[in-house]
Structure 1
């Protein structure tokens, strides 16, 4: 499968790149720097907020993956992140590519029916703007019926760790363990992400991944 991955050099993006390469996919790793996350992986410098560049890069691809993140410079991230995702979708339309799998956020996962994690009073204020930006992007994708998108939410905690291959997948629910913790390694998240990209079990839907 030919995959174009935006945001390929970040913590999660680089794990997705490694997993895709290990599975034998032909990967183009796109980032603003143009650096390759892995030796031998084809890389390109581009900004996903430019639809024309997106279209040129993804033309002929089987799928697009996005590990882009909201701005983290202290500015309000929601509108710029929404604009980036709209541009990504527009570029895919122009290139005639339909399959898109997106690295999402955990803040919009449900902790109870009708109650999302980021709406709890205990949710960390420092990361709330980013969580709300991710939630707005999910709401945007839910309006689209011309792309075969999937939004993949990680557990509340995601960090570098082991590739165990043992994890659970759900839909809109925040998954927790017996002690109430919600976590996933970036390596196992990448496995679940590639499983979904290959199998398409949550097309035009959100899925969550956790231990």
Structure 2
């Protein structure tokens, strides 16, 4: 299978690319700056905000993975939403699946989004609201976009690849997950789809 990973030099994207290559997939890693990529990944420079790049990637790949997120350095979060919108437009009406790396803030506990709770950390709130909006944008696409979002547990960091974790829909399971096991779950879903046009989550 042909998989394009946008943001392939980041913590999550690099592990997704490496996991996919390890399973025999043909992987293209897309970065803005040409950062170092895992062995076996074909490197391409490009941006999710560029219409021509997005269309070219969608036309060549079976799955387009957006391992990107809103700016954490004071940049305009609309750029991220525009990027997700651009990728939605690129895959609309095609057989290419769009896989978006999500966040934990949009997960739901007792019917309420975690990001809306009084104890949610203020320093992560704007970022979480932006990614939550991206989820709503995906949900509004209708039947001509095959999308999936995978939200991690509340804490995701480099760690061990165990291959053992729990999955859930919109409700969190566990407090943390390694970036390696996040990649395992994402590529599992690519290999054996169970969450077409849905969001799901994982944790220990």
TM over 0.5: yes
Tell me the equivalent position of 2:16: 16
Aligned residue among 152, 155, 158 for 1:157:
155
C-alpha distance after superposition, 1:87-127 (max 9, x if no partner): 11222238x34311110010010121x21111111111011
Distance 2:135 2:195 in 1: 14
Q: Which runs of 5+ in 2 are unaligned?
A: none
Distance 1:210 1:70 in 2: 22
Query: Which residue is 1:127 aligned to?
Result: 124
Question: Over residues 57-107 of structure 1, what are the superposed CA-to-partner deviations in whole Å (9 max), with x where a residue is unaligned?
Answer: 332321111101111221442x2221110111222238x343111100100
Secondary structure of 2:123's counterpart equals helix
Q: Which residue of 2 aligns with 1:71?
A: 71
TM-score, length-normalised on structure 2? 0.95
Q: Normalising to structure 1: TM-score of the pair?
A: 0.92
Distance 1:120 1:40 in 2: 43
Match for residue 195 of structure 2 among 202, 205, 211: 202
Instruction: Report if aligned partners of 1:59, 1:97 keep a CA contact under 8 Å in 2.
Output: no
Shift of 1:36: 4.1
Give the whole-Å Cα distance in 2 for the aligned partners of 1:16 and 1:51.
Answer: 23
* Per-residue deviation, residues 184-205 of structure 1 (Å, max 9, x unmatched): 0000010000011111100000
Cα deviation, residue 35, structure 1? 3.0
Query: Is 1:82 equivalent to 2:89 in the alignment?
Result: no
RMSD of aligned Cα (Å): 1.3
**Which stretch of the first structure deviates more once superposed, 36-45 or 166-175?**
36-45
Aligned pair count? 203
Q: Distance in 1 between matches of 2:182 and 2:139?
A: 22
Q: Does 1:101 align with 2:94?
A: no
Paired position in structure 2 for 1:115 = 112
